[in-house]
Amino acid sequence: MGYETWVQEHAEAHKKIIDKLLQQGLNKQQIIDYFDFENMKEKESDFCPLYAKNKKCHDMESLNCYLCSCPNFRFNDKGFKKTEDKTQFSYCAIESKDGRQGIYGEAIHQDCSGCSVPHHRAYVEKHFDLDWAKIMKVCQV
């Protein structure tokens, strides 16, 4: 599955949760609270495959899952450039010191596993939109 397909599928899953929460009358702060890892693991177990393993994608105490993918992540399923015999498919727009470029066979992908930027509540509040796809639109280049 390419990044584009994953983003589309995740946007649909995210929207279903948001629609449910809006029907319950939750406000912005309550919606952000709902996306806390511990709550999501319990109430939305199908949202992330890591929930079943009780495993966080980033080693941090208070992880918020609202921005499951980072608005600073840039991708192109066709690739950005060739470096020798490898194709770069993604990178970090802010060049986070905690991220790195990983080489996987002939592909180069951004490895965000060391970066927790989008999972902090303050970051979610700053970039919040009920439409997750709208936030992530900048990612596809």
The structure tokens listed for 88 are 């770069």
Beta bridge partners of 103: 108
Is the torsion defined by CA of 63, 64, 65, 68 positive or negative? negative
Phi, psi of 61 (to 5 degrees): -65, -55
pLDDT of residue 123: 96
Coil, strand or helix at 80: coil
pLDDT of residue 67: 97
Coil, strand or helix at 93: coil
Indicate the pTM of the whole model: 0.90
β pairing state of 107-111 and 100-104? antiparallel
Q: Average pLDDT of each block of 10 consecutive residues along the chain (141 residues)?
A: 91 98 98 98 96 94 95 96 95 96 96 94 97 95 90
Separation CA 2–CA 140 (nearest Å) = 11
pLDDT of residue 2: 86
pLDDT of residue 1: 76
